[in-house]
Structure 1
Amino acid sequence: MSCKFVVGTGAALDWAMGAWREAAPELELVPLAMTSIADAAEVEALLAGRALAGATAFVTFDALHLNFARLERMGAFRMHGLRMPPLVCRGAIISDSAKISENSYVGPGAIVGQGVKVGFNTVIGAGARIGHGASIGNSCWIEDGVVVGRAVKLGAHVTLGGGVVVANEVEIGKLCVVDKPMRVDADIAARTFIQASHANPMVIVGE
């Protein structure tokens, strides 16, 4: 039986264990609870004495810190040569021509269209719809029910909150957050924050 290390903290770890049991009941699941974001010494201690040959891993997620916390954890375990196949929940519909990269998650009822490319470490929530030909960057977060139109381009570390609809062929630059129910009909420049708590968009300038 293949072994999968499921890495996380608290409720997120419990959820991921349950999701993997449903998606791949043939796997031997080993939960690894972490107390820090991605401490190298803690990773070494968690993996010490364990057989890594043929094992895979999955790092659980949150939407905080533009997904950097999850990315750091992913990198810490990837350094040990562990493959990190995506978690595709039961009920998700994914085109045969779509590509879902490592440590990504596709929730139940989500639809991923033809030719879609999803970067690593990205979350596509339950019931979300990704139109054909869309390109989703690394470490993105797409909340439950979000609609992403055809040929849309999302840069790395983009967060789309609940109620967002992105029109066809729109481009949203890296490090953007759209956390306000709305339809996005025009391109959004990198590092733009559109949130319900602020009347106007905010843009981070500089490096």
Structure 2
Amino acid sequence: MTSRWIVGGGDYAELVAQTWKQACPDENLVRIDVSQHVNHAFDLSALDGLSPSEGAMFVAFDERFGNFKRMELMQAAMARGFKLEPFIHPSAVVGSGAVIALNAFVGPQVVIGHGSRVDYNTVIHAGAHLGPECRIKSSCWIESGVQLGARVAVGRHSILRTGAIVKSGVVVGRGCELGWPRLYDQDVADHTTFDLRYDEPIVVHGA
């Protein structure tokens, strides 16, 4: 029987493992924790005994370090020849023509409008709502309850926190964090952070 390896660490890895186990109880699901050294480099020795021919893998690491650590672990798995697939919860509603790329997570009760595209390694948590023809680029993190109108574009490595509502047609640049629970009705420049600890957004120029 082929295996399904959930590889990573932290609360998100546990969430993925439990959600996948509940949705697909007949799969041979194995969670594998990958630790990090003091310099934050992954210890990949946990993958040494696995054969790509014996199963498929899903990489689960949270949004810390701007989603780059999850991408790094995913690339390491692909370099070793492992097959990566997306997870779409059975209760999610995915419109016609929508595309969900590899290692993307679409949680329970998520709605993705028709013609949308969710690129690789993006995480969409339970209850988020994406309108028609949205484009979510790679390695994004969209928390529960986020609402995106039609034709919203989100740049790679962006984080949208609970309470963010993005108006139709708005473009969110790459490397942004929408942390204020409010309506975003204008385009957001690359590398802009709306942090609850500050009254004004932080913009990193030349990043």
* Paired AA for residue 26 in structure 1: D
Shift of 1:54: 5.0
Partner residue, 1:138: 138
Partner residue, 1:123: 123
Partner residue, 1:60: 60
Shift of 1:14: 2.9
Shift of 1:195: 1.6
- C-alpha separation between the residues in 2 aligned to 1:182 and 1:14? 29
Q: Is the 8 A contact 2:10 2:61 kept in 1?
A: no
State the TM-score, normalized to the length of structure 1: 0.92
Mind listing any 5+ residue stretches in structure 1 that lack a counterpart?
none
2:4 is the alignment partner of 1:7: no
Shift of 1:2: 2.5
The list of structure 1 runs, each at least 4 consecutive aligned residues, that deviate by more than 6 angstroms after superposition, is: none
Partner residue, 2:107: 107
Shift of 1:66: 1.1
Shift of 1:24: 2.3
State the TM-score, normalized to the length of structure 2: 0.92
- C-alpha separation between the residues in 1 aligned to 2:50 and 2:66? 32
Q: Is the 8 A contact 1:38 1:73 kept in 2?
A: no
* Paired AA for residue 113 in structure 1: G
- C-alpha separation between the residues in 2 aligned to 1:47 and 1:194? 37
- C-alpha separation between the residues in 2 aligned to 1:166 and 1:65? 23
Partner residue, 2:31: 31
Instruction: String of CA shifts for 1:117-140, please: whole Å, max 9, x gaps.
Output: 001111111111001100001011
* Greater mean deviation of Cα atoms: 107-116 or 60-69: 60-69
Shift of 1:12: 3.3
SS in 2 for 1:102: coil
2:153 is the alignment partner of 1:150: no
Instruction: String of CA shifts for 1:22-70, please: whole Å, max 9, x gaps.
Output: 222332112211111553xx32x32334332152111113122111111
* Paired AA for residue 76 in structure 2: A
Q: Is the 8 A contact 1:22 1:90 kept in 2?
A: no
Give the share of equivalent positions with the same residue, in percent: 33
Instruction: String of CA shifts for 1:123-182, please: whole Å, max 9, x gaps.
Output: 111111001100001011111010011011111011111111100000011001110101
Q: Is the 8 A contact 1:158 1:177 kept in 2?
A: yes
SS in 2 for 1:144: coil
Q: Is the 8 A contact 2:111 2:128 kept in 1?
A: yes
Mind listing any 5+ residue stretches in structure 2 that lack a counterpart?
none
2:93 is the alignment partner of 1:73: no
Q: Is the 8 A contact 1:22 1:89 kept in 2?
A: no
* Paired AA for residue 131 in structure 1: G
